[in-house]
Amino acid sequence: MHTILEAAERVLSGDPTATMEQIAEAAGVARTTVHRRFATREALIDALTRWATRQFAAAVDGAVSDTAPPLVVLYRVTADVLRVKIGWGHAMNRAAVAADPEIARVHAEVLAKCDRLFHRARAAGLLRPDADLEWARRCYYALIHEVTQGGTADADVDALTTLIVDTLLRGFGADPGRPPAGL
């Protein structure tokens, strides 16, 4: 089944209207094999979306730690999430708008973990004391999204991670030479 899902991701990334037959061909299996596992194209796409969401959750769970320094966790979670979003881009973009309760639960859990990480980052002095953490998180998510749009299949994940974290910290990070907000 994993082979079919990987093929579906590749094919649908290039052509979102691809048929089950095209996906079967890319997976190197008979069309009937795909139809046996997935009754409809929509069922295949739903399974692909759930699979990618589980990979996303596993990436976050594997990177987030309450004992590692927040900067280390920020780099690690960013790199791991980028790998999933680049490798499963079509499915992850679909997951962002899916109405599936399992997907909504995963995204809510990830959001809570990100919020905790940003609070830890502020407490450690990485983010300004007056930084709006919800806005910082939304900007962080937007940076990840933008980096993963188009032409990222052979991207240097470490360089992209550094770009995202550097942009985030320069925008919201603590800067001793900067006057407090409102002055």
* Per-residue pLDDT reduced to its tens digit, 29-54: 999 999 999 999 999 999 999 999 99
Judge: domain 1-39, CATH 1.10.10: yes
pLDDT in tens, 88-111: 988 988 877 778 899 999 999 999
14 phi/psi in degrees, rounded to 5:
-85, -30
pLDDT at 154: 73
> Exposed (0-12), middle (13-18) or buried (19+): which is 16, by Cβ within 10 Å?
exposed
Paired tokens of 171: 């925008």
pLDDT value of position 94:
83
CATH 1.10.357.10 domain range(s) in the chain: 45-172
Q: How confident is the model at residue 183 (pLDDT cuts 50, 70, 90)?
A: very low
- CATH 1.10.10 range(s) for the chain read 1-39
- Mean pLDDT of all residues in 159-168: 93
Q: Nearest 5°: phi and psi at 40? A: -140, 165
Query: Over the stretch 117-134, which tens digit does the pLDDT of each residue have?
Result: 999 999 999 999 999 999
Q: Determine the pLDDT at residue 178.
A: 53
Q: Identify the CATH homologous superfamily for domain 45-172.
A: Tetracycline Repressor, domain 2 (1.10.357.10)
Find out whether 137 and 118 touch, Cβ atoms under 8 Å: yes
